[in-house]
């Protein structure tokens, strides 16, 4: 029989309560770290206090809770978390999908700038490689070292990813059925893979040291979410359970919002000199976090929230 929409009251509201209780605590702790504990030029901890350990423990426990809760309840007849397919109308999802598409298009321009900025270094490296007689091997190696190859692929994958975000938003404008765009759904994952490769092969250095773990955690959780979201959206393997959407979705949004909001607070409070040049405000973090939360809010429910 046809599934009826879930009642407006969330059956999984406890997951949201935990998220909105933990989020301000993590933002406040990270704000304190950037303002008072970090060395601005390189991002090292100039000093430490109990909040550094407390933040790590809080993030670990919260992420572990979402993973364990979702995994343990994956086979439950009433508590299993599933992706709601079919007709759904949501203005919030439309706006946030279009915002994500805009940020993806801006990332195309950012990748273009990276390629142009590093092309001269690539040419210089190629002249040295050519002298060694291993031109082909040196070309790919230098494309990776200068960040041109991952930036190029990131920019290329960002375009169909933006198209998918627009399509996904349009599908929520009216409560009508739409055929899933299965091919487009895989591109956000591919885009994030290349973004991660660029981020952690080209810019990994003695800069932004305290930021690297949080950025890596955010990207890892987001990547796993996008892969599982693509499978659920495309109706691949109808018998699969969707526990990973909440299991990694909430941690992904938590890490991303913590990073963005803490830097935003540093900026609006007039302490921007505490931000390293390598860790500015990144609106892509905000766009991804809000998109994930919109999917969890509109599309993911416990089974007991449906009538069959």
pLDDT of residue 244: 85
Residue 142 belongs to what H/E stretch?
Answer: helix 135-145
pLDDT for residue 34: 86
pLDDT score recorded for residue 28: 96
Backbone φ/ψ region at 282: left (φ over 0), alpha (ψ -120 to 50), beta = beta
Give the Cα separation of 76 and 162 in Å (integer): 35
Q: Which residues of the chain have pLDDT under 50?
A: 1-10, 134-136, 206, 305-308
Would you call 293 exposed, middle or buried from its count of C-beta atoms within 10 A (0-12, 13-18, 19+)? Answer: buried
What is residue 271's predicted lDDT score, i.e. its pLDDT?
Answer: 79
Model pTM score: 0.85
Helix 91-132 to helix 135-145 angle, to the nearest 10 degrees?
140
C-alpha neighbours within 13 Å on the C-beta side of residue 257: 21
pLDDT at 88: 74
Name 65's bridge partners.
none
CB-CB neighbours of 261 under 10 Å: 21
Token representation of residue 84? 């709601």
pLDDT computed for residue 187 by the predictor = 95
Give pLDDT tens digits for 234-288: 877 665 667 888 999 999 999 999 999 999 998 898 877 777 665 678 899 999 9
Backbone angles phi, psi at 38, to 5 degrees: -90, 150
Rounded to whole angstroms, the Cα distance separating 65 from 51 reads 20
- Residue-level pLDDT at 215: 87
């Amino acid at each position: 029989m046809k599934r009826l929409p879930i009642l407006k009251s969330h059956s999984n509201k406890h997951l949201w309560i935990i998220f909105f209780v933990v989020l301000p605590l993590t933002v406040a702790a990270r704000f304190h770290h950037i303002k008072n504990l970090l060395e601005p030029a390189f991002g090292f901890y100039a000093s430490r206090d109990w909040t550094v350990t407390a933040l790590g423990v809080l993030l670990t426990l919260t992420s572990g809770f979402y993973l364990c809760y979702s995994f343990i309840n994956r086979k439950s007849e009433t508590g299993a978390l599933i992706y709601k397919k079919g007709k759904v109308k949501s203005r919030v999802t439309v706006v946030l999908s279009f915002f994500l598409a805009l940020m993806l298009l801006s990332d195309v321009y950012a990748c273009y700038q990276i390629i142009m900025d590093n092309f001269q270094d690539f040419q210089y490296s190629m002249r040295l490689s050519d002298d060694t007689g291993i031109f082909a091997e040196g070309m790919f190696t230098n494309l990776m070292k200068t960040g041109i190859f991952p930036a190029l692929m990131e920019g290329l994958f960002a375009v169909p990813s933006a198209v998918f975000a627009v399509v996904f938003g349009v599908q929520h404008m009216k409560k009508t059925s739409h055929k899933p765009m299965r091919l487009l759904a895989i591109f956000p994952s591919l885009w994030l893979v290349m973004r991660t490769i660029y981020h952690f092969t080209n810019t990994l250095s003695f800069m932004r040291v305290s930021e690297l773990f949080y950025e890596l955690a955010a990207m890892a959780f987001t990547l796993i979410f996008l892969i599982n979201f693509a499978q659920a959206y495309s109706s691949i393997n109808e018998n699969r359970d969707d526990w990973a959407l909440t299991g990694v979705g909430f941690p992904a949004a938590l890490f991303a919002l913590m990073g963005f909001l803490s830097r935003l607070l540093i900026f609006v409070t007039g302490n921007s000199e505490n931000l390293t040049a390598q860790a500015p405000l990144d609106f892509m973090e905000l766009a991804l976090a809000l998109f994930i939360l919109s999917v969890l809010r509109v599309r993911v429910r416990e089974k007991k929230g449906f009538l069959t």
